[in-house]
Amino acid sequence: MDLLRSLPIGLYLEKPVTWLHSLDPRVKFAWLMAFLLTPIGASPYWRLSLLGWMLLLMLSTGLPFRVWWKQLGLVTLFSLLLFLVTVFAPDGITVSHQPRFPIDDLSLTLPDKPPTVELPQPTGYRYELFEWRFLRVTRRSLDLAVRLSTLVFTFLASTNLYLLTTAPEEVTTSLEHLMRPLKRLNIPVAEIVLTLTLALRFIPLVLEEVQNLIRSIRTRAIHWKKLGLRNSAQVWLVVSERLVDNLLVRADQTANAMQVRGFTTPDQHRMQWYQLRMRSLDWLVLIAAGLFVVARLVWGGIHS
């Protein structure tokens, strides 16, 4: 079991090199913000159209199918499960009302209500779209299910695609360039970028430690049924403690390596990870991102 290959979520894919790899990271970050911000307050039609745009973008990269299955299989399954749970969940409209005072007291003081007469609907509008036994779908539950499922899928898929085609050094360099105006407010931009760089570099180390611990458990051929629930929980507790200890050792080794190389502060010890450069293709994609935001403002609608 290789977690670095079977679970490559949030990891950078060096090969095959696609046209997204060659784009400037600032342009890709602009498109990421467009996918993350435009669904907010948008109509369900715009949210559903975002799924189509995401699929077209994924297919245009030409990445192998195995990469998509590993990257988006769990995301798609989770989004579908969230849609089914939300669409059949009660929407709160049919909650029975309980009077504040006893019914007998109300019957003595209030006059008798006239019998209600059901009038025919002038249009074909129906609030309940589907009802079968205990399953009930209303317009409110369907709208909420579409909003939640598309929002989760768009957020996870767009972020995952961004990290898949952008190296950690490119991510931190672009963020440092975009956050330069914050230095006037005495915000430690260099420290924030350095912390983000180390965090992105630490993800493969965490997966490697988890992988080594799982392999060590599997080689010992532990019979979990004979251990029982309590003993099994104790074994996993020991494994978790060992994982934390190994990660702390890795963090200490990283800090020692930085001190040996004379690292003092991010401002004094500068390291140029990636050279930012805007080309003609980058400008075209950036203009397309602006048109995408304009289309959201014109046709996306404001969700009430």
Per-residue pLDDT at 1: 46
- Other C-beta atoms within 10 Å of 56: how many? 9
217: three-class secondary structure by DSSP: helix
Per-residue pLDDT at 287: 93
Distances, alpha carbon 271 to alpha carbons 1, 69, 196, in Å: 36, 36, 14
DSSP 8-state symbol, 134: T
C-alpha distance across the termini of the chain, in Å:
48
Per-residue pLDDT at 9: 55
- Among 202, 181, 168, smallest CA distance to 271 is for 168
Q: Which residues of 152-171 are buried (b: 16+ CB within 10 A; e: fewer)?
A: ebbebbbbbbbbbbbbbbbb
Query: What ranges do the domains of the chain cover?
Result: 1-93+128-167+276-304, 188-273
- Name the strand (E) or helix (H) holding 112: none
Contact 139, 129 (CB under 8 A): yes
pLDDT digits (tens, 9 = 90+) for 113-164: 566 666 666 676 676 777 777 777 787 888 888 888 888 888 888 888 888 8
Per-residue pLDDT at 109: 54
Contact 93, 45 (CB under 8 A): no
| Cis-peptide into 16, omega within 30 deg | yes
Spans of the chain below 50 pLDDT: 1, 3, 93, 106, 303-304
Q: What are the DSSP E strand ranges found in the chain?
A: 128-132, 135-138
Per-residue pLDDT at 98: 64
